Structure 1
Amino acid sequence: MPPRTTTAASASRSGSPSAIPSRKNKAVRPKRSGSWRFIKGLFLTGFILSALMAGWFFLTPSGNEYRYMLADSLITTQHREWAKYIIGEKALRERVALYVKQFEDMGEERDTHTIPTKQEQGQGEAGAVEPEKLTSIKEVDGEGYHGYLLTVTDPKKIRLVVPNKRGRGEKVSSMVKRTGAIAGVNAGGFSDPNWRGNGFKPIGLVISQGKILYNGLGSKNSVQIVGLDKEGKMLAGKYSINELMDLGISEAVSFSPRIIVNGKGLIPSRSQGWGIAPRTVMGQREDGAILFLMIDGRQPGYSIGATLYDAQEILLEHGAVIGANLDGGSSTVLVTENGEIVNKPSSSSGERYLPSGFLVFEDPDAVEVPNIWAGLKPSEIDAGKW
């Protein structure tokens, strides 16, 4: 008896074909088979869902609308070429060309709005009106976005400020601290090779206190601008340099599109709002107050961004009679006194170096804006060299 017990135990431990191991092997097989069926079912379900999603994405009106909005959002980023994987390379070229033409057309209608003079603002049934606070900031929220609206009650308190050193741009927070401004926002765009530009080579025109600091128009006779004349009236649209001088331009940068003119919005729907992205836009109310709207973006869980249509509607809701797009994306920034950043810039490296900013001052006439581009030709500026 003892030898048999020892032999059976040894056989069981060594894996010999005894009765006990045989039952264990039979018990394992169904578990393996069930796991495999589950994996195959999961894979098949995923495949079917992917096929249905692809069908919706490419073959339905709502899917196409979402697909083109996604492509537009990519076009506004440093990965523009990725949009071709969503709509195709030919459609990408056509899409960009279409928007360029639309933006040009949106700048053609002549603006006829007027703003009251200080004397007119002070007249009323009760006599002089108590002056409002120069600046105020309000938070704005919408579908998937969060931002801020800066209101400047006196448009003549705004100056376009540029960097004070050659060879690189300057952060708006630095501009505000350096000049003692009350507030500041980013303004015009700039050449940005490989999306690592130094912020020193602007696009188009840069005008401050009525002086042209930078002229990158080349052979172009006119350009889209956003700015203010000497009386504080906002100008936005397509103008030649001579027209701007005749209109008494004071502060301006080149950017587009104009989204509101003569009190009406120019973008018909959200699907035509040039994708979802961080935004900086500028508008003016009938009473002359300037509205700067900054929408944060590219930060899921906080704010993914807004379309230009969204920005247009926000400005209209706050009384804008004219409005225009400024450089947005990772350049979007709102700064208050002492260089405090209010919003959350989307750039992974934080606030960007820029060629210009609209800043608010208690005494704008005391501000000196040097021409750091004096004597430089646009072709001589290396936009990527720090």
Structure 2
Amino acid sequence: MITLPYVKCEAAIERSVDAIPPNTNPTPSAARSGQPASSPVGSRTSRSRQTRRRRKSFVWTLAKAGFWTGLLGTAVFAVWFFLTPSGNEFRYMMADSLITTQHRHWAKYIIGEKGLKERVALYVQRFDQMGEERDLHTIAPDPGSGTGEEAGGLGNENAPLTSVEEIDGAGYHGYLLTVRDPKKIRLVVPIKADKGEKVSSMVKRTGAIAGVNAGGFADPNWKGNGFKPIGLVISHGQIYYNGLGKAKSTQIVGIDKDGKMLAGRYGIQELLDLGISEAVSFSPRIIVNGKGLIPSKEQGWGIAPRTVMGQREDGAILFLMIDGRQPGYSIGATLYDAQEIMLAHGAVIAANLDGGSSTVLVNGQGEVVNKPSSQYGERYLPSAFLVFDDPDSVSVPNVWAGLKPEDIDAGKKK
């Protein structure tokens, strides 16, 4: 009785095993359903192919979405950039900023070749007009004038000769150097022929308290040696360089023997009659008789590094240096920005000096305070305004003596 069920069970198992086809490994689900089981390797391959197809489909969908989004965004930007008032303002601001760099020709891709020529001509005309009004300001020493606790003009003998203030605005950072006594400023020029000199070098060799860049220079292919100035260079009342040619006048920035700042268009004899002491040719004048000459930011000649010189009623000279072309630190400022800063600090006259990669402020230790935009560091320049405790004791030899402008190779390397 015990063995009979056992035999029946064993026989049943044998019949079940015999029913399984050769080389088949049924899964429980397959056995239950009566369907043949698929190979695990084939299943994984199929899933892998499906995954790749889904990935390709997703990437392609994403690429198409990106393409159409970019195309739509470009179209919207183009409409705004070329057809709206705000877009046109931005477009010309970009063009003006390029015009102040070595890549001036790039501006034609924004406003066209004709637009570029017209824009440059417009600024030349406008700058000339800004230099015509005669300046009537006078120096009135006032111990209480100025900004800040330590500021002061000629009447405040207890104030330091120089002070430096950091200047910040929308997209720019810079420095304002205040020189209490304008008669302490001398225009210094390079010591060696055929090459300009760094302002830091000028400060170190002359023992100056501070120094800033001054006039511009011929710069062929933006690789000039800094030795051939533009226009006039006057130091200690003497004409060191005259590159005016047949021109009878030029726009200058400087100081007369009484410490009064002069800026605007003048003839050489007129300057000598006014007792000019230190001066270079540059433009535009942006403040005259206490009023700004640039009506809006849009007419501020683009965004760039700036150097500006001004004077308060108390006689103090202001040098403004704005760094630029360095995203994340300082992009630069328009001349309108510079004008508003100078007006806020009491300037009654102010004018633009050479800016761009030439903009530099040096302290009495010969250290560069700001961050010049030139990738090569501090530039070699033809002139600098330096501050001295005793400027009359400083010797400034005329490095251009006996040289004619046409004989100077502005691109010669030494």
TM exceeds 0.5?
yes
**1:340 offset after TM fit, Å?**
1.0
| Aligned counterpart for 2:120 among listed residues 92, 96, 120 | 96
1:294 aligns with 2:318: no
| Distance in structure 2 (CA, Å) of the matches to 1:309 and 1:235 | 20
- The residue aligned with 2:204 is 177
In the alignment, which residue of structure 1 is the partner of 2:66?
42
Partner of 1:269: 296
SS in 2 for 1:288: coil
Change beyond 3 A, Cα 1:2–1:330: farther
* Separation in 2, partners of 1:64, 1:118: 46
Q: Which amino acid aligns with 1:54?
A: A
> Does the alignment pair 1:156 with 2:156?
no
* Change in 2 beyond 3 A, CA 1:118/1:34: closer
8 A Cα contact 2:137 2:348, kept in partner: yes
Q: How does 1:20-39 map to 2 (within 5 A)?
A: 21-22=45-46, 24-39=48-63
Deviation string 1:308-360 (CA, Å, 9 cap, x unpaired) is 00000000000000000000000000001120111000000100000000000
Q: Is the counterpart of residue 381 in structure 1 residue 408 in structure 2?
A: yes
Aligned match of 2:91: 67
2:4 match: none
**Conserved 8 A contact 2:185-2:388:** yes
Alpha carbons 2:141, 2:313 under 8 Å: kept: no
What CA distance in whole angstroms lies between the structure 2 residues aligned with 1:19 and 1:113?
Answer: 93
Map of 1:82-161 to 2, 5 A cutoff? 82-116=106-140, 129-161=156-188
The RMSD of aligned alpha carbons is: 2.1
Deviation at 1:30, TM superposition (A): 3.4
Q: In the TM superposition, what is the alpha-carbon distance from 1:2 to its structure 2 partner?
A: 6.5
Q: TM-score, normalised by structure 2?
A: 0.87
Q: Could you tell me the percent identity over the aligned residues?
A: 74
Query: How many residues are matched?
Result: 373
Q: Could you say if the C-alpha distance between residues 35 and 210 of structure 1 is closer, same or farther in structure 2, counting changes exceeding 3 Å?
A: same
CA contact (8 A) 2:216 2:282 kept: yes
Alpha-carbon distance in 2 for matches of 1:60, 1:186:
39
| Matches of 1:304 and 1:271, distance apart in 2 | 16
- Secondary structure class of the residue paired with 2:230: coil
Q: Distance in 1 between matches of 2:46 and 2:384?
A: 81
When Rg is computed on C-alpha atoms for both structures, the one with the higher figure is 2
Query: Secondary structure of the residue that 1:78 maps to in structure 2?
Result: coil
Query: CA, structure 1 residues 156+19, in 2 after alignment: closer, same or farther (shift >3 Å)?
Result: closer
Kindly state the Cα deviation for residue 26 of structure 1 after the two structures are TM-superposed. 4.2
Following TM superposition, by how much is the alpha carbon of 1:275 offset from its aligned partner in structure 2, in angstroms?
0.2
SS in 2 for 1:351: coil
| Conserved? CA contact 2:255–2:262, under 8 Å | yes
Equivalent position SS for 1:337? coil
Per-residue deviation, residues 14-46 of structure 1 (Å, max 9, x unmatched): xxxx66644553454333223211210111111
Determine whether 1:211 maps to 2:211. no
Give the Cα separation in 2 of the matches to 1:342 and 1:22. 68
Looking at structure 1, the residues matched to 47 and 138 of structure 2 have their Cα atoms a distance apart, in angstroms, of: 93
Equivalent in the alignment of 1:125: none
Map of 1:124 onto structure 2: none
SS at match of 1:301: coil
1:129 Cα deviation (Å)? 4.9
SS in 2 for 1:110: coil
Q: 1:70 to 1:20 in 2, by over 3 A?
A: closer
Q: State the distance in 2 between where 1:357 and 1:27 align.
A: 70
Alpha-carbon distance between aligned partners in 2 of 1:39 and 1:129, rounded to the nearest angstrom: 70
**TM-score normalized by structure 1?**
0.93
Q: What do the CA deviations read for 1:21-79 (whole angstroms, capped 9, x no partner)?
A: 44553454333223211210111111111111111111110000000001000000000
Counterpart Cα distance in 1 of 2:301 and 2:47: 67
With over 3 angstroms needed to count, the CA separation of the structure-2 counterparts of 1:27 and 1:317, relative to structure 1, is closer
What per-residue deviation string (whole Å, max 9, x for no partner) do you get for residues 130-172 of structure 1?
4311000000100000000000000000000000110100000
Q: Is the 8 A contact 2:141 2:314 kept in 1?
A: no
Q: Extract unaligned runs of 5+ from structure 1.
A: 122-127
- Which segment drifts farther, 106-115 or 129-138? 129-138
